[in-house]
């Protein structure tokens, strides 16, 4: 009996201790939360309103925070020193590069600012500007990491340095090395600032800075789980306390990496990438070489993906941005056959490599081109995807790129993307003209004339030896995708509106109710939040030798959403193409090619036929799920190879591809 009473007392005491521990832990958590001030304060920095609260760091980094996203893109924006140095010896300009982001961070309460040496000196092939600051928030020290996201100049040459993968675990070698620099500076900052205990890490970058941020955050996620590299033992960093936001980031991660988890693994659910699908920069390095981004991509809506709401959402963006952009002017252009002879004749007689050739082409372009009505609903996204896919096909492999193109591009970028403006224009003219003329010579079987050496002998032998490779690539793109190349060249400045920092800032603000509410409080017309998309995947179907296609939406009363009528002679007619679909028709001398771009998660009946232009031909079709970013799950749909006499029979298939 006594033992029973004793056991009962021990049991009750144990339960009391457990209850007390739970109460303590619960109270401790609540106290920690109470110590985090959730008050939102509005600041003004330059021309931007800034909303800040320590409460942004209260919830897990795995929860997307539109307010922290807005703050992050502004940190990335202010990491860029406006304007340009007077010349390459303007040391004062370089020393002050980080002052802008320092002022921004100090405004919102971050101190103990530190910028690395690369942020204070002239850019080179392998530099990267990194700035850290810190702030006590509750029981944590929050460390901000801003990656210089503009003013790259000579760093442009590093952007094209893919490497063969052996030195970077198959990630983009240039950005991988820059990410390692970021992590080293972070480690040094923690030690030199004597930071101890629990930390939260806030990282942000735009464009090249975004690519470096993305890789660094991906590596940190792996380190947190394993080796703890770059995180000193004096501090502790949990997965939920790593906040990483990137904007218009190129693709630097790779699905072939061996030493980290796959780029789209749930491990990276604290990395958020805000992407405009119409931004060409976000599609390089090319997914055809396995490149993608770590973490979750969230996409700005475009007309192709959300035609029903696009106009309304675009108006919201314009209200926040405060003006129009040139990106709305985009349309596919082309040159008709009767005008091509005139272009060639004028090009051949325009003079040696120099301004004459470029001047001729520029002066004649507008009159020589017209709208290409055979490319229905093509947008910048589809245009960029087509050209980059064609480039990957023409190059062949990442190893071939490294062998034939990488050194030449590096030399060209070091010469052209300089901060000494007196060097730029003549070298661009010489380089472009040399490649165009080399392409023309190559078409006659004459290779490596090296006209560039005559004008600029200081270009390295490596780049000169590979001018022929660039000429071949350029010629291949022009032959296989002439109207796409013409459209790209004609709209190049307008297309890069999609990569404007201020345009991206406005897009991100459209997701943040603080900016929407502020606008509505000061204007009679009311605007609304514009949601980001969770994916931007499309189905790409190619029909070689076919020129007649109909597509029916099975789940929408079998409505015909695409209708292209073929002819035995002459171009096919694009009679119907709904806004959420795109169709392209390519006419050759003896046969045609059709392309469809279709939304995911639709059940569609596709019917197609060939009206032969020659007595006997091979016809085939192949359908491929093409992700905007690389994926290990990229299945092919049914394919067919057939031999037809005269006209082929009509073929009908049903497809349903889910994300």
How do residues 420-475 score in pLDDT, each as one tens digit?
A: 766 554 555 556 665 665 555 555 665 555 555 555 555 554 454 566 677 788 88
Write out the two tokens for 160: 């094209």
Cα 218 to Cα 65, 224, 536, 539, 632: the distances in Å are 19, 10, 22, 28, 18
> How many angstroms separate the CA atoms of 93 and 78, rounded?
15
Give the β-pairing of 242-247 and 271-275: parallel
Token pair 């979750």 is found at: 296
Full-model pTM: 0.87
> How many angstroms separate the CA atoms of 651 and 134, rounded?
64
pLDDT of residue 447: 57
> How many angstroms separate the CA atoms of 554 and 576, rounded?
17
> How many angstroms separate the CA atoms of 488 and 387, rounded?
9
Contacts of 137 (CB under 8 A, 6+ apart): 36, 54, 57, 200
Cα 608 to Cα 214, 279, 486, 595: the distances in Å are 43, 32, 29, 11
**Which of 432, 404, 401 shows the shortest CA–CA distance to 416?**
432
Whether 274 and 300 have beta carbons less than 8 Å apart is answered as yes
pLDDT of residue 616: 60
Q: Partners of 197 in the beta sheet?
A: 235
> How many angstroms separate the CA atoms of 230 and 213, rounded?
15
pLDDT of residue 408: 77
- Vertex 74 angle, CA 72 and 78, to 5°: 120
> How many angstroms separate the CA atoms of 48 and 64, rounded?
22
pLDDT of residue 15: 38
How do residues 521-558 score in pLDDT, each as one tens digit?
A: 999 999 999 999 988 888 888 888 888 999 999 999 99
> How many angstroms separate the CA atoms of 626 and 299, rounded?
16
For the chain, residues with pLDDT lower than 50 are: 1-33, 347-358, 360, 362, 425, 461-462, 464
Phi, psi of 271 (to 5 degrees): -110, 125
Identify how many contiguous H helices and E strands the chain contains and give both numbers. Answer: 21, 25
> How many angstroms separate the CA atoms of 353 and 431, rounded?
9
What one-character-per-residue DSSP string does 436-465 give? HHHHHHHHTT-----HHHHH-TTS-HHHHH
Three-state DSSP class for 90?
Answer: coil
Q: May I ask the CATH class of domain 42-299?
A: alpha beta
Q: Partners of 604 in the beta sheet?
A: 553, 655
**What are the sequence ranges of the domains in the chain?**
1-34, 42-299, 331-490, 538-656
Strand intervals (E) in 269-321: 271-275, 291-292, 296-299
Contacts of 604 (CB under 8 A, 6+ apart): 551, 552, 553, 554, 561, 598, 654, 655, 656
- Vertex 600 angle, CA 596 and 601, to 5°: 135
CB atoms within 10 A of CB 639: 11
**Which of 74, 3, 135 shows the shortest CA–CA distance to 508?**
74
**Rg of the chain on CA atoms, in Å:** 28
């Amino acid at each position: 009996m006594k033992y029973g009473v004793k056991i009962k007392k021990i049991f009750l005491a144990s339960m009391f201790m457990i209850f007390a521990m739970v109460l303590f832990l619960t109270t401790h958590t609540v106290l920690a939360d109470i110590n985090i001030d959730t008050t939102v304060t509005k600041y003004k920095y330059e021309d931007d309103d800034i909303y800040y609260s320590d409460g942004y760091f209260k919830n897990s980094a795995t929860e997307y925070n539109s307010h922290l996203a807005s703050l992050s893109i502004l940190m990335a924006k202010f990491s860029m020193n406006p304007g340009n140095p007077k010349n390459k010896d303007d040391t004062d300009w370089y020393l002050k590069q980080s002052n802008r982001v320092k002022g921004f961070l100090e405004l919102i309460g971050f101190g103990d600012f530190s910028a690395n040496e690369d942020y204070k000196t002239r850019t080179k092939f392998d530099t990267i500007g990194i700035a850290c600051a810190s702030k006590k928030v509750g029981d944590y020290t929050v460390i901000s990491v801003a990656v210089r996201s503009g003013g790259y100049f000579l760093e442009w040459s590093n952007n094209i340095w893919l490497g063969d993968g052996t030195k970077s675990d198959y990630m983009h070698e240039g950005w991988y090395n820059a990410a390692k620099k970021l992590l080293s500076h972070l480690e040094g900052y923690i030690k030199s600032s004597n930071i101890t205990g629990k930390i939260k890490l806030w990282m942000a970058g735009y464009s090249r800075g975004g690519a470096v941020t993305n890789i660094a955050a991906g590596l940190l996620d792996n380190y947190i789980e394993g080796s703890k590299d770059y995180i000193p033992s004096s501090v502790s960093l949990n997965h939920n306390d790593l906040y990483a936001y990137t904007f218009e980031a190129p693709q630097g991660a790779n699905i072939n990496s061996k030493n980290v988890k796959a780029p789209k693994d749930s491990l990276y659910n604290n990395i958020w990438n805000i992407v405009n699908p119409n931004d060409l920069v976000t599609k390089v390095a090319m997914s055809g070489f396995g490149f993608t981004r770590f973490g979750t991509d969230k996409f700005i809506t475009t007309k192709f993906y959300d035609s029903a709401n696009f106009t309304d959402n675009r108006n919201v963006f314009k209200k926040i941005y405060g003006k129009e952009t040139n990106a709305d002017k985009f349309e596919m252009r082309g040159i008709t056959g009767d005008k091509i002879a005139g272009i060639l004749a004028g090009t051949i007689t325009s003079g040696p490599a120099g301004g004459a050739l470029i001047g001729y082409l520029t002066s004649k372009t507008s009159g020589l081109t017209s709208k290409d009505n055979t490319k229905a609903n093509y947008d910048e996204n589809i245009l960029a995807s087509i050209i980059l896919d064609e480039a990957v096909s023409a190059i062949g492999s990442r190893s071939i790129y490294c062998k034939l193109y990488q050194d030449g591009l590096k030399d060209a970028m070091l010469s052209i993307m300089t901060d000494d403006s007196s060097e730029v224009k003549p070298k661009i003219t010489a380089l472009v003209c040399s490649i165009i003329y080399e392409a023309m010579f190559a078409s006659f079987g004459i290779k490596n004339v090296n006209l560039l050496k005559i004008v600029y002998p200081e270009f390295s032998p490596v780049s000169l030896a590979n001018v022929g490779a660039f000429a071949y690539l350029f010629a291949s793109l022009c032959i296989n995708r002439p109207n796409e190349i013409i459209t790209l060249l004609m709209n190049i400045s307008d297309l890069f509106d999609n990569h404007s920092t201020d345009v991206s800032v406005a897009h991100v603000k459209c997701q943040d109710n603080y900016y929407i509410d502020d606008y509505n409080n000061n204007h009679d017309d009311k605007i609304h939040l514009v949601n980001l998309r969770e994916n931007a995947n499309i189905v790409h179907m190619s029909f070689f030798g076919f020129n007649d296609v109909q597509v029916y939406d099975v789940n929408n009363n079998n409505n015909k959403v695409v209708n292209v009528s073929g002819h035995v002679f002459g171009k096919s007619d694009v009679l119907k193409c709904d806004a959420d679909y795109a169709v392209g028709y390519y006419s050759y001398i003896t046969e045609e090619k059709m392309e469809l771009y279709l939304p995911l998660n639709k059940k569609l009946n596709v019917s197609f036929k060939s009206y032969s232009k020659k007595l006997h031909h091979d016809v085939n079709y192949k359908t491929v799920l093409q992700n905007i970013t690389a994926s290990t799950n990229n299945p092919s749909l049914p394919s067919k190879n057939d031999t037809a006499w005269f006209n082929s029979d009509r073929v009908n298939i049903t497809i349903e591809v889910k994300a």
